[in-house]
Structures are given as structure tokens and as C-alpha cells.
Chains A and B, each alone.
Chain A
Amino acid sequence: MYNFNFSSKFKIANIFSLVLFFTSVILIFFNGLNYGIDFKGGTLIELRSINTEVSTIRDALKSMDLGDINVKKFGKDGDFLIKVEQKGESNKFIPEIKNKLSENINSEINFRRVENVGPKVSAELLQSGIIAISLSLAAMLFYIWVRFEWQFSIGSIIALFHDVIITLGIFSLLKLEINLSIIAAVLTIVGYSMNDTVVIYDRIRENLGKFHKLSISEIANLSINETLARTIITSITTLLALFSIFILGGEILRGFSFAMILGVLIGTYSSIFVASPILKFFKVSHKTLEKEEEKIVP
């Protein structure tokens, strides 16, 4: 078993977390999130054309009055991603763009992916994404409240907020695209972080019953140490899988796996350094459990 003194680091970790959290909030509000076409509407074209430069594509489209155009390399050499701001309801301009590119680019063009999301649909997708994340947080809150006491429930939900906001903050800082798969990643992070927190909380609850004389800090410290081997091993296997997707899974899954990797790291950290100290803040003791004895017996 490990024997680190985690509880002595709670204070500094909490300050660190608060700084990260509020920096992330500020970033999200002022720097904004880089929404992809799923949430902003617009057109995305992925094409493959060997011996073509970004500037050639940009120049070809310049004359078309398409609004904001974003052209960049995408993965392998010769793969490009074009993003066009939504203009009006009509998406007749997709064939026009294709024709224009074919005229202006000498080598063969393979249109690998074309996506167009109208303004109405993108607004709905964003809305349902926000609902999904909020609902999952609420469901977790409720589940932990049923299985543990309310102090645990609050603690875990704060840890989850911490994870989600900081992950989004990093996405804002790095200007990474937020699309549908990032929502999926955030929800999975919520599940994973919760999973991690539950394992530690479970042990804290058990130890609270066993060692009446220990303070909550000591109990938390003991429980974290007892479950640390599992925490590390599971993080490693999950990260092994995620890095495998990140490196080998192709360009489309890169954002998703990056968000998950961040989430697993932050989630593991928050289970130890955010979720556990909150129990101390609420002065949880074995008496907290006795009040609802019948509820906690599994």
C-alpha cells in the first residue's frame, strides 16, 4: 500500500484548482469556444489533392464571396479541410465550390467529406448538447445522493464541474474545435471522473465506519492511499487505450481522444484533490453516516 500524505497538500491543491477553474471560466467567457459547424452552422469540406497548397485553395475561393473561409492542412500531406461560414439558407454553393476548386486546381481532387449544417439545426444541436451535459450532471448528483449522503453528492458534483470547466478551458486556450464528438467526450469524462470519485468515496464511507477515532482528513488520506494502486492502474490502461486512438485513430477522432486524455488526467486528480477535501469542508464524520444508517447498508 502507498503511504503518501495527500491531506497535507489539500490546501495548496485547492488553491491550484480554484485558479485553474476561474482562469478557465474567464477563458471560456472572454476567449470563447471554437465551435465547429455542428454548433455554429456552415459548411465543411475535406478534400485530398496531391501537390496542392493551402494558398491555392484559398485563392480559388476568394472570388466567391462566401464569407469567412478557413483552409488548413488536415493530417496527411495533400489532405485539406475547408470551413465556410453559413451564408443564407441555400446550400446550392456546395456544387459551386466544388466546380470552382476543380477549375483552379490542376491536380485531381478527391472530395472525401462534405458536411453542411443549417443555422436552425446547429442551434438545436448546441442546445441538446448543453441539455445532455446538464442532465448527466444532475443524474450523477441524484445517484450519489441516493447511494451516499448529500455531502458526498455535493463533493462529487463540484469535482465534475471542475473537470468539465477546466477541460473546456484548455480547449478554449488552445482554440481546439468543439463539435459533437467533444460533447460525447465530455459526457464520458463525467462518467469516468465519477467512477474514480465513487471508488474513493466508497472507501471513505467504509473507513468512517471502521475508525471512529480518526479525523476526516486522516480517513480521506487513508482511503486515497488504499485505493491509489487501483486509481493508477485504471488510469494507465484507460490512457493506453486513449493514446492508441489519439495516435493511430485518424484525424477525425483526434479532438475526441485529446479531450478524453485531458479528462482522465483531470478527473483522476479531482477525485483525490477536489472531491475528498470537500468532505472535510462539510465536516463529515462517522456520525454523518449513523444518521442515515439504514440507507447506507448496501
Chain B
Amino acid sequence: MLNFSKINIFIIYLIFIVIATFSFLNLQEKDNRILEKKINLGLDLQGGSYLLLEINSDSLVKEKIQSKVIPIKKLLKDNQINYNDFKISDKNLSLQLDNIEKFDLLFNSRKDNLVNPYIDKYRSFELEYKKIDNNKINISFSKFGLLTINNSALKQSIEIVRRRIDDVGTKEPTILQRGEKRILVELPGLKDPERIKNLLGKTAQLNFRLVSDNSEFGIEELLSEDGEKLNISRRIILSGENLIDAQPSIQNQNNEPTVSFTLDRLGAQKFGRATTDNVGKRLAIVLDGEIVSAPNINEPITSGNGMISGNFTFQEATDLALLLRSGALPTPLTVVEERTVGPDLGEDSIKSGITSLIVGFVLVIVFMLYKYKIFGLIANTALIGNLLMLIGILTILEATLTLPGIAGIILTVGMAVDANVLIFERIKEELKTEKSIIHAFDSGYSRAKITVLDANVTTLIAAIILFAFGSGPVKGFAITLGIGIITTLFTAYFLARHLTSLVVLNSKDKGIKI
């Protein structure tokens, strides 16, 4: 175990130097980097906000099932199937039919089925029906129908969330999908997430509807911005989808903040027609089911430009413009988890983390020197090498360092010497029975090998499981602990062994104490 070929030595030190060199990349000046690699600081160290958002697919399913009512009724009417007792609930529709066989043929037809489209990807229809009794059926979304709704809502939500956050202009945000219903948002450096939370908490579904008592399309009663009860037609003249831009502006007459918007061509046509036909009437601007304002239509607006006023502060106008620009969210988002760390706490954490790392490191080094003298020096050299390699690998992976991650490094320092302790203690035992020092070292290394491996694999298993199940900062701990074990094995079995061999072989079998 003490004989190294030249090529082996070369490879060991090459690996060591290359990896260790990466650790120095973290010392580069910010604007003057040779290589864009560094360890990232977690939000708990640099400060910032972590938000976990969840889409509410129940409300979406409700909305989608309602949108099926008219097409289904039309399908039944067009094909002369009589129905009655048509009921709408949150997740399904129930009705009585006189001809279920005919309905089945139409409902489960793969060709041009507009009511119940076939999803090729899942080989399933969007909707399914169940017979409750002889002529009564229950229509609901199939498993894959629900999945499709959910997935597209999630994708769309991520896109909108990204637009809104980019618009606010925070630095380097991270926006990721988490599971089937959640979006993870990390906003480094953000001190107060309330504004972002407000912006993400609104779906921002905007539509323009007439104030009218005409119940042709149904009406609903909403409160105006002044608290006045107004009957609003359910017919949507124009929705937020037709908006291409929205900006906050100040109205010159009374210095009131407003939002001016620009419509696309189709939107401008629709808006122009509606305002021409309804001059003198009031037009309600409805955002998420609440009236923002309901001004009079004084003259036709055909330019495709308009303005929304509503007693806004300038901040509110800015935020509304931002929401309208970014588009509506398909469902409301709920913040299910939030963690915000202020920048000064992050700095304090870095300081105390680094201090305890240095102190722990020095204590271990002094102890090893005291205990093993020259071999303690070897173990300590291996330990320093170990740290450099650990930081180097973290740099190569561009891993995120968290406060528990720093704890993982300190713990690695404490536990890393174990490998060398095992080996040295074994050598001590061998020295008792073995006359040749070289032989004693040799068999010490080879006998301790299995133990060292077994002992480290167990900790590695714990680290891997922690990585798989841990979240956020704890994951950072698992990463440093896990990589620490690998670098420990390398430094103990290659670096320290080679250094030991130099000492032992040079002593020429004379008086070595361990």
C-alpha cells in the first residue's frame, strides 16, 4: 500500500490540483472573472424571499365544467335528444336523457368532437359520463382531462408569474415548477415580498361589460367604486386578452393617476363597435369580479386606446398596469409557504458560520498535531486538501451554500479525520506485532481500508436520503456532507497515504513513532 508508481502519483496530484484550483475561483473580483463559476449563496445567507405558490384547480374545474354547459345543450338540441333536469354543480353536470345510446355515440366520437375532445397524448377523452340510473347521467372530467386542465393552468401560471416578476425588476429571480400544483419563486435580495405577493395574489381577469337592465345574457349586481349598486350584463364586450399594452399615466385635468391601455386590432374593432352602439350608456370595467369604475360612454372609441380611472394612487395604477400587461392568471394563486430573510441577518449568518468554521478547524488541527505529531501534520495537510477539494467541487457544481451547508462543512472537518485516525490506530496495532515498520504501515492501510469504506458509506447513505427528502437550506447541508465524504475518502486514501509513504520510506525502517 505504500508503493506508488510515478503515474499514480501524477494522477492523484493532478486530480487534486485541478479540483482544488476551482475553489479559488470564488475569490475572483466581481467584474473581472476568468471563469464564470462560483458557489452561490442560499437565500438564508444573502437575504431574500422564498415563496411557494399553489394554483387552485378547483375553481378552474368549476369554471371549465360550466363552460361545457352550452356546447352540450347545443349538441343535444342539434341531434334531437330530449333532456331535462339539467343540473350544474362544482365538479359535474347531471341530466336526464331519452336516448343515452345516441348520446354515447356523439359524446365519445373521436372525429371533430368539439364538446368532448380526444386527448391523443393520454388516449383519453377530456370528459366522461356515468350512468346513475336508467336515463340519468353524470358528466365530469376524466382523470386525464383534469390532468390536462391542471398542467396547462400550471404552465400558463408560471409564464404569467415570470412576466409579473420580471416587470417588477428584481435581480436574478428563480421561478420553477414544484410538483403538480406548485410554483417555487426565489427572489434574492428582496427585503419585503408584500408587493410581489399582492401582484401574484391577483388573477387580474379584466373585462368590460355594460351597465344594463337587459337580462338577455343574464345580469349580476355589483357594487361600483362609490358603493352604488349596479346591474351589470354578463355579456363580455372585451376582455383583458385583447390588451397589448397598459401604462400608468397622470390625467392632466386633475392630476389623477390612471391606467391607459392599447388594444390589439380585434379588440379595437370590438371596442369600437360596442362604444358606437351604446353611446350614453355606462360601461363597467370589472377586475376579478369587482368594478374598478363604470364611466359613461361619451363618444365612440375607435382608436383602440383607452383609459381606466378609479381613484388610484400612483402605486396602484402602476401595479394595475403591470397586471394588465402581464395577462391574467388562469386561477388564483395561494402562498402556501413563505420564508424571507433580511440582508443583515444573512450577513450575520455568514459571519458566525465562517467564524465557527475557522475555530472548529483550528481546534481539530491542534488536537491532531498534539495526538499524532508528524502524522498529525499529514492528517492536517489532508484535511486542508479535503476542504479545498470540497469547496472546489461545490464550485464546479455551482452548488448553493446555505447556513446548514456551512454546518455540514464544519462537521466534515470534524469527521474527516476519522479516516486517518482509523488508519493510524490500526498501524499502531500492527507495529506491536510487526517488526518491519514498512510492513506495519502497509498492512495497517490495507486492513483499515474496509472499515473506512463501510463507516463512510453509512454517512453517505444518510446524506443521500436527506438530499432526496430535504428542502431548501437542509438540502444544502446534505450536499456539503455528501461531497465531504467523497473528498475525505480521496484525501485519506491517496493524499495522506502518499505523504505517509514518503515519511515511512525515508525513515528506512528506523524508529518511527505514531
Contact = CB atoms under 8 A, between A and B. Distances in A.
Bound together: yes
Interface of A: 1, 46, 89, 91, 94-95, 110-118, 120-121, 125, 128-129, 131-132, 135-136, 139-140, 143, 147, 180-181, 183-184, 187-188, 190-192, 194-196, 198-199, 202-203, 226-227, 229-230, 233-234, 236-242, 244-245, 247-250, 252-253, 256-257, 260, 298
B355 A199 contact: no
18 contacts: A94-B338, A95-B194, A113-B341, A120-B54, A121-B337, A139-B465, A191-B461, A191-B463, A194-B459, A195-B455, A230-B421, A234-B421, A238-B415, A240-B363, A240-B414, A248-B352, A257-B407, A260-B411
Interface string B190-203: 00101000000000
B469 A132 contact: yes
A132 B404 contact: no
B413 interface: yes
A253 B455 contact: no
Contact of B421 (A131, A181, A233, A247): A233
A184 B474 contact: yes
B377 interface: no
A238 B410 CA distance: 9
Contacts of B481: 188
A256 B403 CA distance: 11
B404 to A, nearest CB: 6
Given A110-B344, A136-B462, A242 B425 contact: no
A234 B454 contact: no
Contact of B342 (A113, A143, A227, A234): A113
B159 interface: no
A228 to B, nearest CB: 9
Contact of B455 (A183, A188, A199, A249): A199
Contacts of A115: 338-340
A233 B340 contact: no
B344 A241 contact: no
Is the contact region of chain B dominated by helix, strand, or loop, or is it mixed?
A: helix
Interface in B436-490: 450-451, 454-463, 465-466, 468-474, 477-478, 481
B356 interface: yes
Nearest to A253: B407
B414 A239 contact: yes
Interface stretch (B147-155, B214-222, B364-372): B364-372
Nearest to B475: A184
B454 to A, nearest CB: 5
Nearest to A238: B414
Among A46, A95, A198: residue with most chain B CB under 10 A: A198
Contact of B458 (A95, A183, A195, A238): A195
Nearest to B340: A114
A136 B465 CA distance: 6
A128 B450 CA distance: 33
Given A110-B344, A180-B470, A230-B421, A140 B458 contact: yes
B342 A241 contact: no
A191 B340 CA distance: 31
Nearest first, the 6 A-B pairs at minimum CB distance are: A241-B414, A191-B462, A244-B360, A191-B459, A132-B469, A250-B352
A234 B371 CA distance: 12
Contact of A195 (B357, B459, B472): B459
Contact of B404 (A129, A199, A256): A256
B458 A191 contact: yes
Is the contact region of chain A dominated by helix, strand, or loop, or is it mixed?
A: helix
B428 to A, nearest CB: 8
Nearest to B339: A115
B342 A110 contact: yes
A129 B356 contact: no
Contact of A202 (B342, B348, B450, B456): B450
Among A184, A195, A242, A248: residue with most chain B CB under 10 A: A184
Contacts of A128: 469, 471
A157 B348 CA distance: 39
Given A199-B451, A245-B356, 8 more contacts: A116-B338, A128-B471, A143-B461, A183-B466, A183-B470, A203-B451, A240-B364, A248-B352
Given A94-B194, A198-B451, A242-B411, A187 B457 contact: no
Chain B interface extent, by class: 35 or more
B404 A248 contact: no
Given A230-B421, A252-B349, A129 B469 contact: yes
Contacts of A199: 422, 451, 454-455
Interface of B: 44, 52, 54, 192, 194, 334-342, 344-345, 348-349, 352-353, 355-357, 359-360, 363-364, 367-368, 371, 403-404, 406-407, 410-411, 413-415, 417-418, 421-422, 425, 428-429, 450-451, 454-463, 465-466, 468-474, 477-478, 481
B336 A198 contact: no
B407 A227 contact: no
Contacts of A113: 339-342, 345
A195 B418 contact: yes
Contacts of B456: 195
A241 B357 CA distance: 8
Nearest to B481: A188
A191 B466 CA distance: 11
Contact of B411 (A132, A140, A241): A241
A279 B292 CA distance: 77
Contact of B473 (A120, A181, A227): A181
A202 B454 contact: yes
A143 B450 contact: no
Contact of A111 (B338, B342, B411, B415): B342
B342 to A, nearest CB: 5
Nearest to A138: B465
Nearest to A132: B469
A54 to B, nearest CB: 19
Contacts of A187: 462-463, 465-466
A84 to B, nearest CB: 13
A233 B371 contact: yes
Nearest to A136: B465
Given A112-B341, A143-B461, A253-B404, A245 B471 contact: no
Contacts of A121: 52, 336-337
A63 B473 CA distance: 35
A51 B461 CA distance: 48
A241 B364 contact: yes
Contact of B338 (A91, A242, A249): A91
Nearest to A249: B356
B474 A183 contact: yes
A252 B403 contact: yes
A236 to B, nearest CB: 7
A133 B422 CA distance: 28
Contact of A132 (B339, B413, B470): B470
